[in-house]
Amino acid sequence: MALDTQDALHAANHNDPHWHARTDLAAAFRWAARYNWHEAVANHFSLAVNEEGTQFLCNPCNRHFGLVKASELLLIDANDPGTMDRPDAPDPTTWGLHGALHRRVPHARCAMHVHSKYATVLACLEDAVIPPIDQNSAIFFNRTIVDTNYGGLAFEEEGERCAALFEDPRHRVMIMGNHGIMVIGETVAETFDRLYYFERAAETYITALMTGRPLSVLPDDVAESVARGIDDYPVVQYDNHLRELREILDNEGSDYAT
């Protein structure tokens, strides 16, 4: 890239009111790819940038998570019916699933949908609820939704149906039966951290099932205590988590924030 082009890009980015949000989201994409949560050039993350939550950033159509840059994230209006007529239109399932969430679910400021290995295995089980068998799984006690009515690709009708299931603000994780997972939150940091811990919990549970031995399940009151303890934790660890991940990328010379 020529020096004058670099200078022009830097100036444009500096004036973008959503620049920090863009770089946070781009970092999340890079780490999702590193953790092998990506699905070829499919799956999508989104982040609301206006007060109403209806305008959101998302990944460009068919862009690999491992290559996403802050500057190329699309800015979409969930209330704009002409979105799919744009020359840079998002993937139809981005519009269907994330558009519906940002129209219908105000507390879904950030939404991350993946087909990560262990969460997807979980979603294929007849009973897709993770029992509280360790601290990570207890975090999600009574705080997930299991959707058992998979209706096909997440175009507009399926997206609207899924969004309607998030009516309880306590529910920030949807185990999408026969599909994958949707995690929502207020910020990129919060949502990515929740996705990280849910995938870890799913990995522990699926691995424990593979032993064929009886599970040691925590009592409900202990599990609820753990979940509430995380809800009310005095240190905002998810902000620190994303900060550290960004620092690793920066130290490696990653171009995610360009």
pLDDT in tens, 132-174: 999 999 999 999 999 999 988 888 899 999 999 998 988 999 9
CA atoms within 13 A on the CB side of 92: 7
Cβ within 8 Å of residue 207, ≥6 positions away = none
- Residue 156: per-residue pLDDT: 87
Task: Say how far apart CA 173 and CA 181 lie, in whole Å.
Answer: 7
Closest alpha carbon to 44 in 144, 151, 180, 164 = 180
pTM (global) more than 0.85:
yes
pLDDT range class, residue 2, cuts 50, 70, 90: very low
Helix (H, G, I), strand (E, B) or coil at 31: helix
Contact 45, 112 (CB under 8 A): yes
- What is the domain partition of the chain in residue ranges? 18-251
- Considering the four listed CATH numbers 2.40.100.20, 3.40.1260.10, 3.40.710.10, 3.40.225.10, the one that applies to the domain covering 18-251 is 3.40.225.10
